[in-house]
Amino acid sequence: MSTAGLVVLASGGGRTLENLQQCIVAGELDAEIVQVVLSKEGLGAQRRAERLGLSVSVIGKVTHPDRKERDAALLAVLDKARPDLVLMAGWLQLLPIPARYEGKVLNIHPSLLPAYGGRGFYGHHVHEAVARDRQSLSGCTVHFATEAYDEGPILLQEAVRLQPGMNPNAIADAVFAAECRAYPAAVQALLTGQANWRNGEVSWR
């Protein structure tokens, strides 16, 4: 069986990207990152990707101000890479998902969806809301991406018990530790056939 190809989309520091690559190197993920796409120049994710020796493209509002041209450029990069899966790793733009990519695009969100999901809920905004609401439980969700924020079918979730009075930074650290486990596990489950997407639904065997 040939090694699965992954395209990773990132808009931030690239910690998730690096974690995925580390899992690949450690033999925990039977895949190869064939392309990294960034939403703008100068991101931490760019420095990490270059240090890891990964191929990088930049497609965003600066390089492609017109939304249709930006979407077309992004899909062209994906089509050239021919990935088995596309992984959003802190990607902050909606991704056009034509039929050929349905069931092939994953996102990880830093909450237990549907809680704290949707437009405006990303990154530290989520953890600030969780802290403000004094929640005792948070976590992360790996889900299939659709053309609506955080609404795709859920593949895997990992809960994190929060201690009373935890601030947003502490919550972020605890949730990211869960993300580092959950995302590679979800990807590996798909690649090995343990989990499947069919007609917009997720099944496990």
Q: What are the tens digits of pLDDT across the range 140-197?
A: 999 999 888 888 999 999 999 999 999 999 999 999 999 999 999 999 999 999 999 9
Taking alpha carbons only, the member of 22, 13, 88 closest to residue 43 is 13
**Considering the entire predicted model, what is its pTM?**
0.94
Question: What are φ and ψ of residue 190, in 5° steps?
Answer: -70, -45
Radius of gyration of the chain from Cα atoms?
16
**Model confidence over 2-57: pLDDT tens digits?**
799 999 999 999 999 999 999 999 999 999 999 999 999 999 999 999 999 999 99
Which residue carries 């890891």 as its tokens?
Answer: 52
Per-residue CA distances from 61 to 12, 67, 97 (Å)? 15, 8, 18
Catalytic residue IDs: 109
pLDDT of residue 148: 81
pLDDT of residue 1: 52
- Asked whether the predicted pLDDT for residue 110 surpasses 60, the reply is yes
